[in-house]
Amino acid sequence: MAEASGFLPAYLANGDDTLKRERVAERLEQRIGKLGDLSFNSEVFDGETARGADIVAACNTLPFMSDVRLVTVKAADKLRKADSEAIVAYLEAPAESAVLALYAQGLAKNTRLYKAVASLGKNAVIDCSSVAKRDLPSLVAQMAKTHGISLRSDATILLIDLVGDDTVRIDAELKKLSLAGVHGNAITVDDVNRLVGRTTEAKPWEFVDAFSERDAAKCMRLRQRMESTTPYSLLAMCITRIRELAIVRGLLARGQQSQLTKMVKGPTWKVDKYYPRYARNFTPEELREALRKARDTDRAMKSGSDPEAAFETWYLSVIAR
């Protein structure tokens, strides 16, 4: 029986890190596979199309020459309400010979399905959320060890820059570096440049943050990696940031820094930590002049001027001290 074999009746691997969810699935399948042939004792459903009744029926099917049967539901956060409720009802009295494995990218904690799984035990819900970007280099270092390699710190930063924060892609590139025979000494920037291709675009918010830092070189590097982002949308985002920084400067001048998160939209940690520094990078006169020039640039972009060239001229003039 499932509980007698050390399994809970159901598990939920929940979070946006695909690699973590895949690793959870691999470990669970390996453990259950030791009890019997999974080719006879497993079923897989897609939450976007599956019926709750079919999932429950699969859980209630007796295993063949095994104590446990594995029922997997991918994209469980896409289940329709009625189908999700069928699983919630099942979990009130789950089958003793089944393990229900639910995988979701973002199932809210206040949903009945999340609560139903969580009530089964402290290990029933497995957090598969992505790590914060500041913690990604240390995670990559740990991932590299599983492939028998190590990276210099600058090579790690470059790898993340080229591939992005998708841990599945990062893991694939680490495997490539390992198979290329780059062992012994730590992998260098040259190794990464030679063996890893760019697979990700820069995020618009990265450009706006570099703009707020008045880092012209970084802005130009990022802009080269933003093929799908138009200069019109970037101009609008930069204008929004300038207005936000004007508000922040006003609050700081009045000693009202505690009001930042009420007056400026955005992640609380980012507004509190970075916006005061961004705001101090500009004088009030520079912010007003940036908005005036933005108005003229917008007109030029809509009146026949090369949009990219006009936008570049504008943001470099604002960044220049």
pLDDT tens column, 249-259: 999 889 888 88
Query: Of the given ranges (100-104, 114-118, 150-154), which has the lowest mean pLDDT?
Result: 150-154
Question: Cα dist. 300→87, 223, 236, 241, 312 in Å?
Answer: 58, 20, 14, 21, 12
Q: What is the pLDDT of residues 197-245, one digit of tens each?
A: 877 778 899 899 999 999 999 999 889 888 889 999 999 999 999 999 9
Q: Which is more confident, 181 or 274?
A: 274
Task: Name the region of 298 (left: φ>0; alpha: ψ -120 to 50; beta: rest).
Answer: alpha
- 311-321 mean pLDDT: 94
User: In 3D, which of 177, 173, 197 has the Cα closest to residue 187?
Assistant: 177
Q: Are 36 and 64 in contact (CB under 8 A)?
A: yes
pLDDT at 4: 52
DSSP string covering 156-223? HHHHHHHH-S-HHHHHHHHHHHHHTT--SSPB-HHHHHHH-----PPPHHHHHHHHHTT-HHHHHHHH
What pLDDT band is residue 183 in, cutting at 50, 70 and 90? low
| Total residues found in the chain within this entry | 321
Per-residue pLDDT at 56? 97
For range 86-106, the mean pLDDT: 96
